Amino acid sequence: MGRLDGKVIVLSAAAQGIGRAAAIAFAKEGAKVTATDINGEKLRELDSIAGIRTKVVDVTKKDQVEELAKEHDHVDVLFNVAGFVHHGSILDCEEADWDFTMNVNVRSMFLMTRAFLPKMLAKKSGNIINMSSVASSIKGVVNRCVYSTSKAAVIGLTKSVAADYLDQGIRCNCVCPGTVDTPSLRGRIQAQPDPEQAYKDFMARQKTGRMCTAEEVAYLCVYLASDEVSSALFLVGSLTSLVFPQRDSGGYLSHG
């Protein structure tokens, strides 16, 4: 038996990186997964995996999110992964950069949570997992101004939903990794003036000598999605889980 047998899970940003790894990990543990993304070509690569259904959805669009929700009689787990990383300080951030980042990183989670939470409340059971970051209210990171601001907002959203609905059977947690080796990260490194030096800088901050993998984050998400958490009261509500701390992070394992 899998740890997620029979659970219905909906997640965003499943075409690559953490979302893709999580979709595969959820399915392997017996969940019925609806994997969404705006990149239909990459997303369809998941169609061959048992337990995964794919659907192209722009989670920043209210009508598309509501249509997705209507397709599900109930949902056990909602995993909000969609995100965008803007590189630069506040002086490098134009209004368009700010608005786009907030739309993808925060508004998408607002829309998805509003659409699926009523289904969870109807059966007095549900689990929402939001993807945040160490670069947030947890710590300041150079050249991550709007990104860090958006991820701090995700933590605030998570804590608010947790506080409002804990006594109605809803768990809401967020995962806050440090640097994760994903296609998105590698693309940002290649976009730097000196990609080789940028990669060395990323590696120099890794306390373990390597970056966290998307699969390692997915393993944590399997645990958070499982019923193993239900009796662990310190994990019910607004826990922020951290993995692979960086050298200057103080070695955090969790931050509530």
Straight-line distance from the first to the last Cα atom of the chain, in angstroms, rounded to the nearest whole number:
31
Pick 65 or 196 by higher pLDDT. Answer: 65
What is the dotted CATH code of the domain comprising 8-255?
3.40.50.720
Instruction: Select which of 147, 165, 199, 219 is catalytic.
Output: 147
Per-residue tokens: 254:
């969790």
pLDDT at 125: 96
Global pTM value = 0.86
As a whole-number percent, the residues of the chain with pLDDT over 90 amount to 66
Q: Average pLDDT for residues 131-160, to the nearest whole number?
A: 92
Task: Identify the residue with better confidence: 247 or 78.
Answer: 78
pLDDT band at residue 80 under the 50/70/90 scheme: very high
Per-residue pLDDT, averaged over 199-208, amounts to 72
The yes-or-no verdict on residue 139 having pLDDT over 60 is yes
Q: Is 84 exposed, middle or buried, given 0-12, 13-18 or 19+ CB atoms closer than 10 A?
A: middle
| pLDDT at res. 215 | 87
28-42, 55-69, 202-216, range with the lowest pLDDT = 202-216
The structural domains of the chain, with segments of one domain joined by +, span 8-255
Residue 197 has a pLDDT of: 83
Q: Which two tokens stand for residue 96?
A: 């368009």
Answer for the pair 239, 173: CB distance below 8 angstroms, yes or no: yes
Q: What is the phi-psi region of residue 219: left when phi exceeds 0, alpha when psi lies from -120 to 50, beta otherwise?
A: alpha
Whole-number Å distance between alpha carbons of 26 and 75: 14
Q: How confident is the model at residue 137 (pLDDT cuts 50, 70, 90)?
A: confident
207-256 pLDDT per residue, tens: 667 777 888 889 999 999 999 876 444 444 444 444 443 444 433 334 44
Q: What is the pLDDT of residues 159-177, one digit of tens each?
A: 999 999 999 999 999 998 8
What is the average per-residue pLDDT within 123-152? 93
Mean pLDDT of the chain: 87
Beta-strand runs (E) in the chain: 8-11, 32-37, 52-56, 77-80, 126-131, 170-175, 180-181, 212-213, 240-241, 254-255
Q: 223 an active-site residue?
A: no
In this predicted structure, the answer to whether residue 122 has a pLDDT above a threshold of 90 is yes
Q: What is the pLDDT of residue 247?
A: 43
85 versus 210: which is more confidently predicted? Answer: 85
Q: pLDDT confidence of 63, banded at 50, 70, 90?
A: very high
